[in-house]
Chain A
Amino acid sequence: MSTPYAKLPAWADYGLIPLINLLVAFAVAGLVVLLVGENPLRAAVILVEGAFGSGQGIAYTLFYATNFIFTGLAVAVAFHCGLFNIGGEGQAYIGGLGIAIVVLSFDSTLPWWVVFPLAIIASALFGALWALIPAYLQAKRGSHIVITTIMFNFIAASVMVYMLVNVLKPMGSMAPQTRQFLEGGQLPKLGWLLAEFGLKVRPSAPLNISFLLALVMAFLVWVLIWRTRLGYEIRTYGFSSKAARYAGISEPRIIIVTMLISGALAGMMALNPIMGDQHNVPLDFVSGAGFVGIAVALMGRSHPAGIVPAAILFGMLYQGGAELAFEMPNISRDMIVIIQGLVILFAGALENMFRPTIQGIFASISPGSVGITATKGERA
Chain B
Amino acid sequence: MAEAAIELIGINKSFGAVRANRDIALEIPRGTIHGIIGENGAGKSTLMSILYGFYQADSGEIRVNGKPTNIKTPNDAIAVGIGMVHQHFMLVENFSVLENVILGAEGEALLKKSIAKARSELHRLEDEYGLEVDPDALIEELPVGLQQRVEILKALYRGAEILILDEPTGVLTPAEADHLFRILQQLKEQGKTVVLITHKLREIMAITDNVSVMRQGTMVATRKTSETTVEELAELMVGRRVLLRVEKGEAKPGAVKLAVKNLTVRDSRGVTMVDDVSFDIRAGEIVGIAGVAGNGQSELMEAVSGIRKAVSGTVMLDGTPIDLTGQADPGELRDRGLAHVPEDRHHVGLVLAFDESENSILGYHDKPQYLKGPFLNLDAIQKDAQEKIEKYDIRPANPRLKTANFSGGNQQKIVLAREIEQDPGVLIVGQPTRGVDVGAIEFIHRRLIAMRDQGKAVLLVSVELDEIRSLSDRILVMFAGRVVGERGPETSEGELGLLMAGVEHKEAAE
Contact = CB atoms under 8 A, between A and B. Distances in A.
A285 interface: no
B349 A227 contact: no
Contact of B54 (A4, A228, A229, A240): A4
A197 interface: no
Contacts of B55: 367, 371-372
9 contacts: A236-B362, A239-B353, A240-B351, A242-B348, A246-B362, A371-B15, A372-B55, A373-B353, A377-B92
Interface in B47-100: 49, 54-58, 72-75, 78, 88, 90, 92-93
B374 A229 contact: yes
Given A1-B90, A372-B54, A380-B93, A248 B351 contact: no
B101 to A, nearest CB: 11
A4 B45 CA distance: 15
A199 interface: no
Given A2-B90, A247-B330, A373 B347 contact: no
A245 interface: yes
Interface of B: 13-15, 49, 54-58, 72-75, 78, 88, 90, 92-93, 103-105, 140, 154, 305-307, 329-332, 334, 340, 342, 344, 346-354, 358, 362-363, 365-366, 371, 374-376, 378, 402, 404-405
Nearest to A371: B15
A1 B363 contact: no
A250 B306 CA distance: 12
Contacts of B366: 229, 248
A202 B255 CA distance: 82
A229 B365 contact: yes
Interface string A351-373: 00000000010011001101111
Contacts of A375: 352-353, 404
A363 B56 contact: yes
Contacts of B342: 246
Nearest to B364: A247
Nearest to B335: A248
A195 interface: no
Contacts of A367: 13, 55-58
A370 B56 contact: yes
B139 to A, nearest CB: 10
Contacts of B72: 360, 363-364
Interface string A136-167: 00000000000000000000000000000000
Given A242-B344, A374-B404, 6 more contacts: A1-B103, A227-B378, A248-B363, A372-B49, A372-B54, A378-B404
A360 B73 CA distance: 9
Contacts of A373: 353, 402, 404
Contact of A1 (B78, B365, B378): B78
A232 interface: yes
A246 B307 contact: yes
Contacts of A232: 358, 365, 376
Contacts of B404: 372-375, 378
| Residue with the highest number of chain B CB atoms closer than 10 Å, among A3, A4, A370, A371 | A371
Please provide the 3 A-B residue pairs with the shortest distance between their CB atoms, ordered closest to farther.
A248-B331, A374-B404, A367-B56
Contacts of A363: 56, 72
A133 B78 CA distance: 49
Given A227-B376, A229-B374, A378 B56 contact: no
A269 B75 CA distance: 48
